[in-house]
């Protein structure tokens, strides 16, 4: 399979046509080998409009959605980023010149994507997703969905830092941009999206008598 040709088709037919206009982001997406971020037997589907599996049920975000999410962050070269359950996004941000850490709770994900991340200069950390590793981040991104805003993720941002994540409670969801201010947190919806929920970020059901 000609992955380079498939990558160009993806960029033209799924990214540019969906109001993703950042040329630096285009170049980064065009350079990152997405086929290295899914299970080897799913590499053929890396550039299709699907969510191929990485390992143990973890999936890549749709190309259109991850591109729009990253554009919403307005990432800048030299910034410090944390990619939580977002290995492909981590590589794209690194290609854009950011200092990136990729965090996963399941080491099996890094068994698949670790070599590609290392080549991209991305640091890796295995830890519960609810416990961001490090602090003072300029931006945080996740390719998985959450039901509600993870306050621990907000706390890991520096003042002025941005978080982009999909909030989903049911079949539909919305990508949201949070900005941490010195006196509070602002919230803005970006676009509709419905990636898989991150199971460990889903609150346990509460029962009232």
Question: What are the tens digits of pLDDT across the range 145-166?
Answer: 999 999 999 999 999 999 999 9
| Mean pLDDT to the nearest integer, 77-106 | 98
Question: What are the tens digits of pLDDT across the range 54-83?
Answer: 999 999 999 999 999 999 999 999 999 999
Provide the pLDDT confidence category of residue 206 given band limits of 50, 70 and 90.
Answer: low
For the record, the structure tokens of 86 come out as 């977002």
> What pLDDT does residue 200 have?
86
CB 32 within 8 A of CB 10: no
Residue with tokens 């676009």: 191
Provide the pLDDT confidence category of residue 204 given band limits of 50, 70 and 90.
Answer: low
Largest CA distance in the chain: 59
Q: What is each CA distance from 151 to 65, 156, 178, 192, 201, in whole angstroms?
A: 23, 9, 11, 22, 11
Is residue 168 assigned to a domain? yes
Is residue 170 assigned to a domain? yes
Is residue 204 assigned to a domain? no
Domain boundaries, position 195: 3-199
The number of distinct structural domains making up the chain is 1
DSSP assignment letter at 202: S
CB 53 within 8 A of CB 42: yes
For the record, the structure tokens of 35 come out as 């086929």
Pairwise CA distance, residues 38 & 156, whole Å: 28
Is residue 205 assigned to a domain? no
Is residue 143 assigned to a domain? yes
DSSP assignment letter at 42: G
Is residue 136 assigned to a domain? yes
Is residue 16 assigned to a domain? yes
Is residue 192 assigned to a domain? yes
Q: Find the CATH number of the domain harbouring 109.
A: 3.40.50.150
């Amino acid at each position: 399979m000609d992955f380079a040709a498939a990558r160009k088709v993806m960029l033209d037919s799924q990214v540019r046509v969906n109001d993703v206009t950042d040329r630096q982001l285009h170049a980064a997406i065009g350079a990152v080998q997405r086929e290295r971020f899914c299970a080897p037997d799913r590499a053929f589907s890396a550039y299709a409009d699907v969510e191929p599996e990485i390992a143990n049920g973890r999936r890549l975000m749709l190309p259109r959605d991850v591109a729009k999410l990253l554009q919403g962050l307005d990432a800048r070269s030299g910034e410090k980023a944390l990619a939580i359950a977002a290995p492909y996004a981590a590589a794209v941000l690194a290609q854009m010149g950011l200092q990136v850490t990729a965090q996963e709770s399941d080491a099996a994900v890094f068994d698949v994507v670790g070599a590609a991340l290392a080549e991209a200069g991305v640091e890796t950390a295995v830890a519960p997703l609810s416990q961001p590793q490090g602090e003072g981040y300029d931006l945080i991104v996740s390719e998985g969905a959450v039901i509600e805003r993870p306050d621990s993720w907000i706390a890991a941002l520096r003042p002025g830092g941005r978080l982009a994540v999909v909030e989903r409670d049911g079949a539909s969801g919305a990508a949201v941009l949070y900005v941490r201010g010195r006196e509070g947190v602002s919230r803005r919806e970006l676009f509709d999206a419905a990636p898989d929920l991150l199971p460990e970020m889903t609150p346990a059901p509460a029962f009232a008598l």
